[in-house]
Amino acid sequence: MPESEYSITAPDTFGTKAQATAWLAKQRTLIGEGKVNPTAIVTTFGEYASMWLAGRELKVSTRTLYTRQLSRALMPTWADVRLAEITPAAVRAWHATLLPGRPTERAHVYALLRTILGTAHRDDLIAANPCRVSGAGSTKRAKPIRPASLAELEAITAAVDERFRPMVLLGAWCALRFGEVTELRRADVDVTSGVLRIRRGVTWLTGAPVVDTPKTEAGSRDVAILPHLLPMLATHLRQHVARGPDALLFPLEEGQNVQLSPHRFRTPFNRAKAAAGRPDLTFHGLRHTGAVLAAASGATVAELMARLGHTTPTMAMKYQHAAADRDRVIADALSDLAVAARA
């Protein structure tokens, strides 16, 4: 673009004409070399991020999460910084002090910044994405999840309130997420065919229940119910679930039709876990338990993906590896028994 066809507005005023002239000459050089887009000189991250978020088709829960991450972790540092001034060194320095002790949230916030600036790069506003901190957008679980044994699962089920027993067992044996199981309604359960129809989930990012379809197409799925759970589930539907196809299986209170929140479930679940000697187990740990048991039963990666609602084989492979590790423990224990018998 010829120089006469655009104008450059300085981000600040200058003390002398010489300073202004030097700044303008530098910007023209950078623009001429294709290193800076004139728009990026005056567009702040806050302005661009707001436009970026407004222009995205997102699930309600995802939009809520991004809005929260922007306001709490990104805007305080970057809102007034112009896109052209966000450098790799600045990003690295910011990341070094970001959310200490909260590695998962830290990774997600960094990934959001990287995504937004990646779009700015594709929009030709910046020459390159300045988010270059190796591995910053991913995290490793601090402690591996230890699946519940069958005896522990039985003990937890026996100790939890009666109306929550099917919820615990469906979470484990059907490998459901908390938001999936607490949004199950009478119409989603086909006891005759032995199938759960997972079509929605509930999140609590705003402090109130937000119901939406699964994030991915794979999340919308039919899950076969284990035959030995069907009699208990039929009893639960008869004794604890209100009439009507929209009645929740596990409401906040019986007779209501408000979803059970993680906060309200915490007390009865903690009590049951303590009674079973597994205070460390989370509800997601129950899902992990079901996935590992399914893998141990011989389920293929594709079958695990379908049952758990995964879009990639990565997580399914983790469950298969966990099942293989557990099989090695069992083999070693059996070998010890054999050796002891010969002694």
The answer to whether 214 and 198 are in contact (CB under 8 A) is yes
Segment (H or E) for 54: helix 45-54
Q: Which residues are catalytic?
A: 177, 284, 287, 310, 319
DSSP bridge partners of 196:
189, 223
Whole-angstrom Cα distance, residue 75 to residue 65?
Answer: 14
Residue 28 CB burial class (10 angstroms; 0-12, 13-18, ≥19): middle
Q: What are phi and psi of 224, to 5 degrees?
A: -70, 130
Q: Which amino acid is it at 174?
A: C
| Torsion angle defined by CA atoms of residues 270, 274, 276 and 278, in that order, rounded to the nearest 10 degrees | 80
Check residue 44 and report its DSSP letter.
Answer: B
Task: Report the Cα–Cα distance between both ends of the chain, in Å, rounded.
Answer: 88
Cβ–Cβ contacts within 10 Å for residue 187, how many? 12
DSSP 239-270: HHS-SSTT-BSSBSSTT---BPPHHHHHHHHH
Q: How far is CA 52 from the centre of its chain?
A: 21
Whole-angstrom Cα distance, residue 165 to residue 159?
Answer: 9
Q: Could you tell me whether strands 195-198 and 189-190 are parallel, antiparallel, or unpaired per DSSP bridges?
A: antiparallel
DSSP 275-332: HTT-TT--HHHHHHHHHHHHHHTT--HHHHHHHHT-SSHHHHHHHHHHHHHHHHHHHH
